[in-house]
Amino acid sequence: MSEHWLQVPEWSWNHSKEIHPSYVHHWIQQLKNMQSTPDMILFGAPISRSSISVSGASLYPSEFRRTWKGFATYNLDENVDLTHYKVADAGDVVMHTTDILLSHQRIQDTTKYLAEHYPNSTTCMIGGDHSTTACAVRGIKGAFLKETIGILQLDTHLDVRDPKELGPANGTPIRQLIDGKMVDGENVINIGLHGFFNAKPLIDYANEHNIQMVTLKQARKDGLTNTIKGALEQLSAKVDRIYVTVDMDVLDISVAPGVPASTPGGMTAIEMFDSLLEIGKHRSVKHIDFVCLDPSKDSAVGETVKTGVYAWLQFVTGCILQKNIQMGY
């Protein structure tokens, strides 16, 4: 583990011998078994000790994999077969039992390792709480020192609380990155803000650093898909690569009870699915994460976990559509 801190995931599925597997748990291969460069590398960052509110988000990478069995590898809506797209599961970053800073450093080192060794593969991190995003972006910056990074954030919260007061918690990642000169505030676009969930001092910080705040109300007025497209085009004109972070608490509490900070008035599941499909289509999106999903708060039917897997598969579908366009299909 001198270069990375990856271990075999707690839960993984046996692979089918079918050439074109019919279900997700038979399609995704472990990275160590891949004979060619994967299109996407998946890895887990199972930490939630750094969450401001009580959170079991560390459980999500395992539940994410368990839920694959319920999803086929064919997207009926888009007429897309996922099996031609190579997704490799690199496993989970080994977390220290008590040392949050050490665990964060391991996430950073692992992301840097994957970005350096697989520069042409999209990376997808499954959190974990939102503190993991700052670690991953620092790792990517370490791998591509001369490149600028833009962030598209789908979130109910700005996540610019002061780490000097809270430590590197899940409410601080965007501020960590801006204060640490990893990203410029003007290259951060947050879509999904709404209601009464960001205190005025946090809004003031965002305005001071030129973070672009797009409320869900405004995005719906302009059309959510159009808003996503516009944000991606705006970022891609200014930065070398785009990192997308999806905080699952952007969803409305009625469809996503399994998040640490659930709120009313958020996105519907369909709005998230449409957004992720559009994000996957964009050429400049090189990295993505899905964070702050707490299976321990989910209902017995696991609707939040299932919604999270569905959203990820929509992103993969978008990536395939983008690849098909590039290849002239």
Q: What angle do CA 287, 292, 297 make, to 5 degrees?
A: 150
**How much is the pLDDT for 1?**
46
User: pLDDT tens across 25-46, in order?
Assistant: 999 999 998 989 999 999 999 9
Mean pLDDT, range 271-283, rounded to an integer:
98
- Burial code of 15-33, b = ≥16 C-beta within 10 A, e = fewer? eeeeeebebbbbbbbebee
**How much is the pLDDT for 10?**
82
- What ranges make up the beta strands (E) of the chain? 6-7, 29-30, 40-45, 74-75, 80-81, 87-93, 122-127, 149-154, 188-193, 212-215, 241-247, 285-291
Classified as helix, coil or strand, 246 is: strand
For residue 230, name the pLDDT band (cuts at 50, 70, 90). Answer: very high
Q: Contact, 58 vs 82, CB < 8 A? A: no
Residue 241's contacts (CB-CB under 8 Å, 6 or more residues apart) are 140, 144, 147, 148, 149, 150, 284, 286, 287
For residue 209, name the pLDDT band (cuts at 50, 70, 90). Answer: very high
Mean pLDDT, range 5-32, rounded to an integer:
86
- C-alpha 113/C-alpha 110 separation (Å) is 5
